[in-house]
């Protein structure tokens, strides 16, 4: 049933295919990349796409294709690590502040309000500037930004579930708070958070690339899509389009992949939308 569900949907198939390509790039980057992603070759600076360099070279003579392949590791691993950490922290926090109506729960919500009152990109830029432009500092900043998202989603579900009749029945059978929270409420409150997980990875990819684009993220010569777009943007006026175009396409495809998978996961987890004939 699960395999047929995904196979019937072109959007799911496309998302899975794009994800597979990225996994292959991450695992086999050293075998797929024709050149070193960080070795400069000034004699071949800004060469257009050719047989020798299929996607051309940048201003330092580094091969664009090799850098895109290796950048997949940076962008995806940073984004997935950050969102996974936010998920693991945000879900339990959302469960607790939704189940217990205490002053501490109110204070946590006000903290989330404070974090989310800032524009995400501006707050991310400020935090990276304070912590330092290291790869895992970027992941830490993204995790901080996404914790309130998952916590709020789970809290909203918990608030709607905690007064349901089946919770009252569980209490009548002798279940304590821990049992009610983790055996009865949490499994029923996870669907929005699981769907948001995929969408947030796409958002994290955009934020990682955006921070690097403005110089507040990963630093040269580390291969990273946003940094590559920023480097090539300076030569666009000279007609050197390939340095920015191909990393930009990589960002689009990566974000599209997780957006498609998130949308299809939402349909899969909703029994009312899984009926035959409703393929998308």
Can you give the three-state secondary structure of the chain, one letter per residue?
CHHHHHHCCHHHHHHHHHHHHHHHHHHCHHHHCCCCCCCCCHHHCCCCCCCCCCCCECCCCCEHHHHHHHHHHHHHHHHHHHHHHHHHHHHHHHHHHHHCCCHHHHHHHHHHHHHHHCCHHHHHHHHHHHHCCCHHHHHHHHHHHHHHHHHHHHHHHHHHHCCCHHHHHHHHCCCCHHHHHHHHHHHHHCHHHHHHHHHHHHHHHHHHHHHHHCCCCCCCCCCCHHHHHHHHHCCHHHCCCHHHHHHHHHHHHHHHHHHHHHHHHHHHHCHHHCCCCCCC
Q: Give the C-alpha distances (Å, rounded to integers) separating 211 from 18, 97, 122, 128.
A: 24, 32, 9, 9
The pLDDT, as a whole number, for residue 1 is: 44
In tens, the pLDDT along 136-186 reads 788 888 898 899 999 999 998 888 887 777 777 877 777 777 877 888 788
The domain in which residue 212 lies consists of: 2-29+65-273
Give me the percent of the chain exceeding a pLDDT of 70: 94
In a domain, 19, yes or no: yes
The pLDDT, as a whole number, for residue 86 is: 94
CA 56 to chain centroid, in Å, comes to 28
In a domain, 137, yes or no: yes
The pLDDT, as a whole number, for residue 67 is: 92
The pLDDT, as a whole number, for residue 12 is: 80
In a domain, 24, yes or no: yes
Instruction: Annotate 164-173 with b (16+ C-beta within 10 A) or e (fewer).
Output: eeebeebeee
In a domain, 136, yes or no: yes
Predicted confidence (pLDDT) at residue 38 exceeds the cutoff of 80: yes
> In terms of pTM, does the model score above 0.75?
yes
| Tokens matching residue 190 | 């996870």
The pLDDT, as a whole number, for residue 149 is: 92
The values of phi and psi at residue 63, to 5°, are: -70, 125
Can you give the C-alpha Rg of the chain in angstroms?
A: 22
The pLDDT, as a whole number, for residue 2 is: 59
Predicted confidence (pLDDT) at residue 279 exceeds the cutoff of 60: no
In tens, the pLDDT along 62-100 reads 999 999 999 998 889 889 999 999 999 999 999 998 888
**Cβ within 8 Å of residue 278, ≥6 positions away:** 267
Q: What is the mean pLDDT of residues 90-118?
A: 88
Which residue's entry shows tokens 């899509």?
225
CA 254 to chain centroid, in Å, comes to 9
Per-residue confidence band for 280, with pLDDT thresholds at 50, 70 and 90: very low
Predicted confidence (pLDDT) at residue 275 exceeds the cutoff of 70: no
- Let me know: does 213 contact 232? Beta carbons within 8 Å: no
In a domain, 236, yes or no: yes
Predicted confidence (pLDDT) at residue 242 exceeds the cutoff of 80: yes
In a domain, 220, yes or no: yes
Q: What is the CATH number of the domain that holds 91?
A: 1.10.3720.10
- Let me know: does 38 contact 217? Beta carbons within 8 Å: no
In tens, the pLDDT along 5-21 reads 556 778 888 888 898 99
- Let me know: does 66 contact 40? Beta carbons within 8 Å: no
Number of domains observed in the structure of the chain = 1
Per-residue confidence band for 187, with pLDDT thresholds at 50, 70 and 90: confident
In a domain, 42, yes or no: no
Greater model confidence, 149 or 188: 149
Per the prediction, the chain carries an average pLDDT of: 84
In a domain, 240, yes or no: yes
The pLDDT, as a whole number, for residue 132 is: 73
CA-based torsion, 159, 160, 161, 164: positive or negative: positive
């Amino acid at each position: 049933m699960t395999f047929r569900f995904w196979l019937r949907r072109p959007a799911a198939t496309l998302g899975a295919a794009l994800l597979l390509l990225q996994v292959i790039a991450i695992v086999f980057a050293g075998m797929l990349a024709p050149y070193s992603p960080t070795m400069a070759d000034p004699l071949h600076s800004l060469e257009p796409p050719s047989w020798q360099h299929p996607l051309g070279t940048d201003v330092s003579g580094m091969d664009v294709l090799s850098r895109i392949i290796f950048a997949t590791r940076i962008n995806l691993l940073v984004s997935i690590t950050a969102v996974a950490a936010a998920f693991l922290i945000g879900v339990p926090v959302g469960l607790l502040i939704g189940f217990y109506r205490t002053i501490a729960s109110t204070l946590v919500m006000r903290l989330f309000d404070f974090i989310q009152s800032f524009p995400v990109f501006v707050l991310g830029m400020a935090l990276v500037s304070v912590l330092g432009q290291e790869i895992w500092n970027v992941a830490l900043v993204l995790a901080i930004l996404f914790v309130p998202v998952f916590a709020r989603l789970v809290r909203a579900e918990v608030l709607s579930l905690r007064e349901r009749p089946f919770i009252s029945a569980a209490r009548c059978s002798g279940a304590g708070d821990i049992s009610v929270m983790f055996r009865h409420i949490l499994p029923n409150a996870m669907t929005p958070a699981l769907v948001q997980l995929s969408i947030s990875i796409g958002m994290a990819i955009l934020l990682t690339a955006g921070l690097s684009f403005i110089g507040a993220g990963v630093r040269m010569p580390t291969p990273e899509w946003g940094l590559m777009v920023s480097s090539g943007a300076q030569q666009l006026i000279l007609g050197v389009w390939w340095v920015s175009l191909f990393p930009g396409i990589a960002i689009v495809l990566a974000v599209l992949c997780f957006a498609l998978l998130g949308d299809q996961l939402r349909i899969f987890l909703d029994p009312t939308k899984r009926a035959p004939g409703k393929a998308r």
